[in-house]
């Protein structure tokens, strides 16, 4: 199902690999940041509830 790319096969496939890799890194960083912010929000909520 791969189209015939001729002499551009390496360049095109390399671009796909790099793009998928970068998307993976962005998703990973986003999930990591979401976990960190969630933890920080819980800490803030605990302080607010403790003072309320």
Q: Does some domain include residue 2? A: no
pLDDT per residue as tens digits for the range 19-47: 999 999 999 999 999 999 999 999 999 99
Please tell me the distance from the alpha carbon of residue 38 to that of residue 35, in angstroms, as a whole number.
5
More confident residue, 2 or 47: 47
Q: Does some domain include residue 1? A: no
- Reduce the secondary structure of 7-19 to three states and give it as a string: HHHHHHHHHHHHH
Q: Does some domain include residue 46? A: yes
SS3 content of the chain, % helix, strand, coil (to 5): 90, 0, 10
With cut-offs at 50, 70 and 90, classify the pLDDT of residue 4. Answer: confident
Q: Does some domain include residue 18? A: yes
Does the global pTM surpass 0.75? no
Domain count of the fold of the chain? 1
Please tell me the distance from the alpha carbon of residue 26 to that of residue 20, in angstroms, as a whole number.
10
Q: Does some domain include residue 11? A: yes
Q: Which domain holds residue 47?
A: 7-51
Q: Does some domain include residue 36? A: yes
């Amino acid at each position: 199902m791969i189209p015939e790319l001729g002499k551009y096969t390496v360049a095109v496939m390399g671009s796909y690999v790099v793009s998928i890799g970068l998307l993976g890194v962005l998703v990973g960083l986003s999930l990591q940041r979401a976990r960190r912010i969630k933890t920080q929000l819980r800490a803030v909520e605990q302080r607010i509830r403790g003072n309320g």
